[in-house]
Chain A
Amino acid sequence: MEENNRKAWLYLVPAILFLGVFLVYPLVDVFVYSFEEGYNFASQSRFGVGLYNYGKVLHDVYFLQAVRNTFILVIITVPVSTGLALLISLGLASIPKLKDLFQTIYFLPYVTNTLAVGLVFMVLFRKTDYTDGMVNLLIRWFGGPTVDFIDGPYWAKMFVLCFYTVWVVLPFKILILTSALASVKQDYYNAAKVDGTRKWRIFTRITLPMISPMIFYLVITGFIGAFKAYSDAVALFGTNLNAAGMNTIVGYVYDMLYGNAGGYPSYASAAAIILFVIVLTITCINLMISKKNVHY
C-alpha cells in the first residue's frame, strides 16, 4: 500500500510541478498583485497593501465600458448560438442524405483561423475609400442607408461582434448537439409515435430532456468562453479596442499589462480577479439551475 502510494505520487510529480509553476503559482500571484498598490515590475517595489486597485479599476470608464460590452456579448451570443445550433442540428438530423456534406460545411469555421475569419468579416463589413463592404452593398440594393459597421455607431459594431462570435462558436455546438441527438434511441420515438404524440410534444417532452445535459454543458462553457472573449474583437476592430469602444474585460486586462497605457500589473490583476468572480458566480447559478432542470 505504502509502496503504491509513493509510486502514484512519483507519477504525479511532473504534472504537479508544471501545473504548480505555470498555473497555481501565477493564480496566487495575481491574487496577491491585485492587493498591492502601485506595484512595479522593474524595481519590485510597492506603496502599500489594500483595496485601492479594485476601486481604481471599478471607477475606470474603460473598464466599465469593457464590462458592459462583455455582458452584452454574453447575453446575446450564448442563447442565440445555442438556439441556432439546436435548430441546425435538428435540421441535420432530419436530412439523412446530405447530412455529411452540411456537417462539414458547418464545421469549417471551427478549423479556420480567427484572424483569417476576421479578414473575411472586414471584406463583408468594412467601409473603405473604394467600397462600402458587401453587406452595405446589399443594404443599398434594398434601398436602405449604409452603415459603417467597423468604425461607425456602437450598435453596428456590437452587431458585428455578436454576429462574428455566434458564427465562430456555432460549429462546436452543432457537433455536440448532433451527436447528442443521434444518441437518443429510436425506440423512444417509436414509442411516442405509437402513442400518437405530436411533433412538438415529442421535442419538448422527450428530445429536449434527453439532450438537456449536453445543452447545459454548452451553455456553461458558452458563458465562460464569451466572458473570456478578446481575440475576436481584435480581429475585427484592431488592437486599440478602447478607442473603438469595443474593449472586453480580457482586453482591458491585456491593455493594462502591455497596451499603450500599460505597465500596471496591479490594475490588470484586480480586473482579472473581478472577471474571475463574475464567471464563478454565473457558473454557480448555471449549475444550480441545471440541477433542477437537467435530467439524470
Chain B
Amino acid sequence: MKVVLDHLTKRFPSRSKKSREEVIAVSDFTFEIPDGELVGLLGPSGCGKSTTLNLISGLLAPTEGRIFFGDDEVTRLPAENRGVGLVFQNYALYPHLTVRQNILFPLQNLRGADKLTKEEMNRRAEEAAELVQITPYMDRKPAELSGGQQQRVAIARALVKMPRVLLLDEPLSNLDARLRLQTREELRRIQRETGITTIFVTHDQEEAMSICDEIVVMKDGCVHQIGRPQEVYDEPVNLFVAQFLGTPPINVFEGEVKGGKLLIGGAAVLDTPGIPDQPVMAGVRPEGFVLDEDGPLACRLSRVEVMGRDITVVCSHEAFTGTMIRAIIPSESQVNTASAEVRFSVKPGKTRIFAKETGERLRPADA
C-alpha cells in the first residue's frame, strides 16, 4: 500500500492565551511513500515528525492537505477505519492483560463481516507472536518482560490485524544501546517478511540510515530533504541536513570562495569552479581528510585515538566552527604524534560547500 501525503499541514492554536499566534507543527508536507518500503522520519525533537505520524494514523486531523492510502483518500477517515498499526514509544501495552490478551485485543474489536472465530483469532495471535519471536512469553504480563520483549509484543499487537500501514513512534529509544542494534535489525527483518509499508519516527540518524529504504529529514515542521540514506548523506541540500547526518558529525569550517577556489584560513583547499565569490561554510566529513605533509589544511594536533579499524585524529583549526575536528583515517596511516601540527588535504567528494547566510548548498559546476 503506497502512502501519499499531499500538502499536509498541521497548525496548533497557541498555548498562551495572550498571543494569537499558531504553532506550525507540520508545514506543507508532500511525499509519496512507495508500497512496501521502510521510511524513516528523522529530525531533532519538536520538528513535527511525531505529529506527521499522528496525522497519518488519524489520531490528529490535518489543518490542510490530504492523505491517501493507495488510491483511497483517508484524510477524514477516523483512526479505527484506516487500518493502521501503531507502535508507541513507551509501547502502551495494557499492563493488566497478558501478552496473549494484548495481542488478541485488536482482533476482539473486529465487528460485523470482519468478526473472527476464537480459533482464527488464536491462530493469528500465534502467528504474530512467532513473527516477532515472543511465543514463550505468551502468558506473562508485560511488566515481567524486558524492554526489548515488550517492544516485540507491541509490534505483534500492531501487526496482528494485518494493517495496511505500520507506524512506529521512536520504537527503539527506550532500549539500551546493544538491544537497539539488535532490535533495529529485527525490525528490518519483520518489515521485509510482511512487506507492509512502514513509517517510523526517530531522532537517531544512525538508526534511520541503517535500516530505511528512504529517509525524510525534518526541522521545525518543514521537510528539508527526502532520499535514499546514502544519497542524503552524500548530497545534503543544506547545512542542517549535512550536520544532522553522520557520526562523528561533519566538520564545518568558516571560509570563502574566491576566484573559483575554496579558502579555509586563507589556504586554498579545493577548486570550486562556478561558485561566485562569497563567504561560505565548508563541511568536511570525518572520512574526507587525507593525511598529507604538504596539505593546505594545517591543524594543531590534540590527540590520536586508535580504534583498531581506523584512527581518529583529534585536532583544532582557527576557522573551525566547533571545538575539535575529528578526522578518521585508515589504520595504516602513520601520524607523527610528536609533532604539534598535522596537515591534511580534503577529498572533493566528501567536502560540501554551503552559503554562509542561508546554509543552502553551493554546487561547483563540475559536480
The answer to whether the Cβ of A38 comes within 8 Å of any Cβ in the partner chain is no
Contact A187 B90 (CB under 8 A): yes
Which residue of A193, A209, A295 is within 8 Å of B79 (Cβ)? A193
Contact B80 A187 (CB under 8 A): no
Contact A194 B79 (CB under 8 A): yes
The answer to whether the Cβ of A198 comes within 8 Å of any Cβ in the partner chain is yes
Complex-state Cα separation, A205 to B36, whole angstroms: 34
The answer to whether the Cβ of A59 comes within 8 Å of any Cβ in the partner chain is no
Contact B109 A190 (CB under 8 A): no
Known A195-B161, A196-B80: A190·B96 in contact at CB below 8 Å: no
The answer to whether the Cβ of B68 comes within 8 Å of any Cβ in the partner chain is no
Question: Which residues on B sit within 8 Å (CB–CB) of A206?
Answer: 94
Question: Which residues on B sit within 8 Å (CB–CB) of A101?
Answer: none
Complex-state Cα separation, A262 to B331, whole angstroms: 99
Which residue of B58, B88, B143, B161 is within 8 Å of A191 (Cβ)? B88
Residue of chain A at shortest CB distance from B163:
A194
Complex-state Cα separation, A195 to B84, whole angstroms: 8
Contact B109 A197 (CB under 8 A): yes
Known A196-B109, A206-B94: A296·B143 in contact at CB below 8 Å: yes
A263 to nearest B CB, angstroms?
A: 54
Question: Which residues on B sit within 8 Å (CB–CB) of A212?
Answer: 96
Complex-state Cα separation, A164 to B86, whole angstroms: 48
Known A187-B90, A296-B95: A194·B84 in contact at CB below 8 Å: yes
Contact B105 A193 (CB under 8 A): no
Which residue of A192, A196, A209, A296 is within 8 Å of B81 (Cβ)? A196
Size of interface on B: residues with Cβ below 8 Å to A: 24
Contact A195 B105 (CB under 8 A): yes
Question: Which residues on A sit within 8 Å (CB–CB) of B106?
Answer: 195-196
Contact A191 B92 (CB under 8 A): yes
Question: Which residues on B sit within 8 Å (CB–CB) of A188?
Answer: 92, 94
Complex-state Cα separation, A209 to B94, whole angstroms: 10
The answer to whether the Cβ of B57 comes within 8 Å of any Cβ in the partner chain is yes
The answer to whether the Cβ of B340 comes within 8 Å of any Cβ in the partner chain is no
When each residue 90-121 of chain B gets 1 if its CB lies under 8 Å from chain A and 0 otherwise, what string results?
10101111000000011011100000000000
Residue of chain B at shortest CB distance from A210:
B96
Question: Which residues on B sit within 8 Å (CB–CB) of A197?
Answer: 80, 105, 109
The answer to whether the Cβ of B59 comes within 8 Å of any Cβ in the partner chain is yes
Complex-state Cα separation, A191 to B105, whole angstroms: 10
Interface residue range, chain A: 20 to 34
Residue of chain A at shortest CB distance from B161:
A195
B176 to nearest A CB, angstroms?
A: 21
Residue of chain A at shortest CB distance from B90:
A187
Most buried by A among B81, B90, B105: B105
Known A195-B106, A296-B143: A190·B80 in contact at CB below 8 Å: no
The answer to whether the Cβ of A292 comes within 8 Å of any Cβ in the partner chain is no
Contact A190 B92 (CB under 8 A): yes
Contact B143 A193 (CB under 8 A): no
Contact B92 A198 (CB under 8 A): no
Complex-state Cα separation, A196 to B81, whole angstroms: 7
Which residue of A187, A196, A205, A295 is within 8 Å of B92 (Cβ)? A187
Residue of chain A at shortest CB distance from B143:
A296
Which B55-102 residues have a C-beta within 8 angstroms of A? Answer: 57-59, 79-81, 84-86, 88, 90, 92, 94-97
A215 to nearest B CB, angstroms?
A: 13
B196 to nearest A CB, angstroms?
A: 15
Complex-state Cα separation, A190 to B85, whole angstroms: 11
Contact A190 B94 (CB under 8 A): no
Contact A191 B86 (CB under 8 A): yes
Most buried by B among A185, A188, A190, A295: A190
The answer to whether the Cβ of A140 comes within 8 Å of any Cβ in the partner chain is no
Which A205-230 residues have a C-beta within 8 angstroms of B? Answer: 205-206, 209-210, 212
Contact A198 B95 (CB under 8 A): no
Question: Which residues on A sit within 8 Å (CB–CB) of B110?
Answer: 196
Contact B80 A209 (CB under 8 A): no
Question: Can you list 21 A-B pairs, Cβ within 8 angstroms, ordered by A?
Answer: A190-B59, A191-B88, A194-B58, A194-B80, A195-B106, A195-B109, A195-B161, A196-B80, A196-B81, A196-B110, A197-B80, A197-B105, A198-B109, A201-B108, A205-B94, A205-B97, A209-B96, A210-B96, A295-B96, A296-B95, A296-B96
Known: A188-B94, A295-B95. 6 other contacts (CB 8 A): A188-B92, A191-B92, A194-B57, A195-B105, A196-B79, A196-B109
